């Protein structure tokens, strides 16, 4: 068994790390200042400028096939890169990406939606959640009714990331109520904002926020169906599947960064005439954090490796998402504690991370849903204890 990175993995990881350190981290103070003034940390054109700079370095379209100008990287490499991105709170990600399910588009749809999204000329959002259907996504109600060559969409989506800025939405709608969403009764549509849906921004405890999308008799041409009629739920699960290893990969980067801050603080802050790091109470918080961080790292890398092997990644990635999301919440909480009163202030970004990572236990499958998947696999005998080594 070999736990080391290959030379290529190490080289890519190190190049991304130096890009983030040189080009992105210097923006942190300004991002914090703007966010405290209730402005976006970076505006769209600034993110784009950084993305184009990264493109010159060769970082463009991590998951995008080469025929669309991307890098088509293996999942393990993508996971390592997401970890590097997690080391800064600046809201930056590499460009040249599109929602994974947009690659199911027809040639015409690719020209209209996929390619402009990859190029950063159009912005997408993915919408399955509704006010009455989150974890229970099969319970969606937003309906699409056939009318000649068109479909008429009625209903509401909620908590849609990027929904307030998107030019178009990938919307999973009910096309056959009798069948039910899970059994071929849901279909995905590509719906331009100009077709008439509207969005309402939702304030959250984090920076930025998702939106509700309202569809009131929105007419969508038949040619805007993504994939097949009845394939909507499957596509939705495919979209969500990607986040199951990228989210905890990001969490690992956050935990690495904040834990180092805690170590530095423990080695400098003095109370009762000694560094606080000489206290066992502080040492144990550091030790528990490092142990959990390492455990999360290997769970998550294994789930990405499972993707690269062409194996069913769901069981492994549910464990990675569950543990990685919990780990980063516990680590940030301990790091805040080690910083005492300063940890609670807005002079340091720790409270910002504290608010940000709470989301990781909720979106793209809550902790409880991951536990449901993991236990169901075992109870049904689909997965053996010990996973692929069993
Ligand atoms: C900031 C943000 C961004 C998001 N982005 C998107 C997006 O881009 N696109 C999109 O479609 N959705 C998005 N979501 C929606 C997100 O995926 C849902 O919020 C999430 O799946 C939970 O659904 P819910 O909020 O309806 O909670 P509910 O499903 O109502 O669950 C409430 C609580 O009950 C628990 N629970 C539910 N059922 C069970 C059960 N059977 N057993 C045990 N516990 C259970 C849940 O785990 C949770 O703790 C986003 C959400 C947020 C907050």
- Return the pLDDT at 275: 98
Structure tokens at 160: 């849609």
- Return the pLDDT at 170: 98
Interatomic CA distance for residues 353 and 361, integer angstroms: 13
Instruction: Note whether 194 and 221 are within 8 A (CB).
Output: no
- Return the pLDDT at 310: 92
Report the atom number in ligand 1 closest to the C-alpha of 128.
11
Whole-Å CA distances, 160 to 181, 251, 287:
19, 21, 37
Alpha helices in 276-366 (DSSP H): 280-308, 314-338, 340-344, 350-358
Q: Measured from the CB, is residue 212 less than 6 Å from ligand 1?
A: no
pLDDT tops 90 at residue 41? yes
- Model confidence at 30, in pLDDT bands (50, 70, 90)? very high
Report the atom number in ligand 1 closest to the C-alpha of 367.
47
CA dihedral over 238, 239, 241, 242, signed as positive or negative: positive
The DSSP line for 169-199 is EEEEEES-TTT-GGGTTEEEEEEEGGGS-EE
Q: Measured from the CB, is residue 159 less than 6 Å from ligand 1?
A: yes
Report the atom number in ligand 1 closest to the C-alpha of 129.
11
pLDDT tops 90 at residue 233? yes
176-182: long-range contacts (C-beta < 8 A, 24 or more apart)? 176/230, 177/143, 179/230, 180/138, 181/137, 181/138, 181/139, 181/140, 181/232, 181/233, 182/138, 182/233
The catalytic residue positions are: 364
- Return the pLDDT at 244: 87
Instruction: Note whether 35 and 41 are within 8 A (CB).
Output: yes
- Return the pLDDT at 86: 98
pLDDT tops 90 at residue 270? yes
Q: Measured from the CB, is residue 202 less than 6 Å from ligand 1?
A: no
Separation of CA 362 and ligand 1 centre (Å)? 6
* Closest residue CA from atom 2 of ligand 1: 159
Q: What b-and-e string marks burial along 144-163, b requiring 16 or more CB atoms within 10 Å of the CB?
A: beeeeebbbbebbbbbbbbb
- Model confidence at 390, in pLDDT bands (50, 70, 90)? confident
The secondary structure of residue 157, as a DSSP letter, is E
- Residue 282, CB-side half-sphere exposure with 13 Å CA sphere: 23
The separation between CA 113 and the C-alpha centre of its own chain, rounded to angstroms, equals: 21
Angle at 289 between CA 284 and CA 295, to 5 degrees: 125
**pLDDT, tens digit (0-9, with 9 covering 90-100), for 109-149:** 999 999 999 999 999 999 999 999 999 999 999 999 999 99
Q: Measured from the CB, is residue 337 less than 6 Å from ligand 1?
A: no
- The average pLDDT across 253-275 equals 98
Separation of CA 147 and ligand 1 centre (Å)? 32
Separation of CA 32 and ligand 1 centre (Å)? 28
- The average pLDDT across 211-218 equals 98
- Return the pLDDT at 208: 87
Instruction: Note whether 19 and 54 are within 8 A (CB).
Output: yes
pLDDT tops 80 at residue 78? yes
- Return the pLDDT at 243: 76
Classify residue 330 as exposed, middle or buried by CB count within 10 Å of its CB (0-12, 13-18, 19+). middle
Q: Measured from the CB, is residue 161 less than 6 Å from ligand 1?
A: yes
Q: What are phi and psi of 226, to 5 degrees?
A: -95, 125
Which pairing describes strands 198-201 and 150-160: parallel, antiparallel, or unpaired? Answer: unpaired
Range with the lowest mean pLDDT among 195-209, 230-244, 312-326? 230-244
Which pairing describes strands 186-192 and 225-226: parallel, antiparallel, or unpaired? Answer: antiparallel
Q: How many CB atoms lie within 10 A of CB 267?
A: 11
- Return the pLDDT at 242: 77
- Return the pLDDT at 60: 97
Separation of CA 19 and ligand 1 centre (Å)? 34
Q: Measured from the CB, is residue 135 less than 6 Å from ligand 1?
A: yes
Q: Measured from the CB, is residue 5 less than 6 Å from ligand 1?
A: no
The secondary structure of residue 127, as a DSSP letter, is E
**pLDDT, tens digit (0-9, with 9 covering 90-100), for 52-64:** 999 998 999 999 9
Instruction: For residue 141, give the nearest of 174, 114, 106, 93 by alpha carbon.
Output: 174
Range with the lowest mean pLDDT among 19-28, 221-230, 307-316? 307-316
């Amino acid at each position: 068994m070999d736990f080391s990175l290959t030379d290529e993995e190490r080289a890519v990881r190190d190049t991304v790390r130096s890009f983030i350190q040189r080009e992105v981290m210097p923006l942190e103070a300004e991002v914090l200042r703007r966010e405290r003034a209730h402005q976006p940390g970076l505006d769209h054109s600034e993110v784009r400028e950084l993305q184009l700079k990264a493109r010159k370095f060769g970082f463009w379209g991590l998951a995008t096939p080469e025929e669309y100008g991307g890098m088509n990287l293996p999942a393990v490499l993508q996971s390592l890169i997401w970890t590097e991105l997690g080391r800064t709170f600046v809201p930056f990600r590499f460009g040249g990406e599109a929602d994974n399910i947009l690659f199911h588009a027809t040639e015409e749809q690719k020209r209209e939606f996929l390619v402009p999204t990859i190029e950063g000329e159009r912005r997408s959002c993915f919408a399955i959640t509704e006010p009455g259907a989150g974890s229970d996504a099969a319970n969606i109600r937003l309906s699409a009714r056939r009318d000649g060559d068109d479909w008429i969409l009625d209903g509401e989506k909620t908590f849609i990331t990027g929904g307030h800025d998107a030019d178009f939405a990938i919307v999973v709608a009910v096309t056959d109520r009798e069948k039910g969403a899970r059994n071929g009764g849901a279909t995905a549509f590509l719906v331009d904002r100009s077709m008439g849906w509207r969005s309402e921004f939702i304030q959250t405890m984090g920076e930025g926020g998702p939106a509700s999308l309202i569809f009131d008799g929105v007419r969508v041409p038949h040619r805007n169906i993504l994939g097949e009629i009845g394939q909507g739920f499957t596509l939705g699960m495919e979209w969500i599947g990607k986040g199951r290893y990228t989210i905890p990969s990001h969490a690992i980067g956050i935990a690495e960064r904040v834990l180092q801050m805690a170590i530095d603080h423990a080695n400098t802050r003095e109370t009762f005439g000694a560094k606080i790091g000489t206290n066992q109470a502080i040492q144990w918080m550091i030790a528990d954090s490092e142990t959990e961080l390492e455990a999360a790292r290997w769970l998550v890398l294994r789930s990405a490796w499972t993707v690269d092997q062409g194996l069913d990644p769901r069981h492994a990635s549910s464990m990675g998402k569950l543990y990685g999301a919990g780990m980063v919440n516990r680590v940030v909480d301990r790091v805040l504690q080690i910083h005492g009163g300063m940890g609670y202030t807005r002079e340091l970004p720790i409270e910002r991370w504290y608010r940000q990572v709470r989301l990781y236990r909720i979106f793209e499958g809550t902790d409880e849903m991951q536990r449901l998947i993991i236990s169901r696999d075992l109870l049904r005998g689909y997965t053996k204890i010990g996973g692929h080594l069993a």
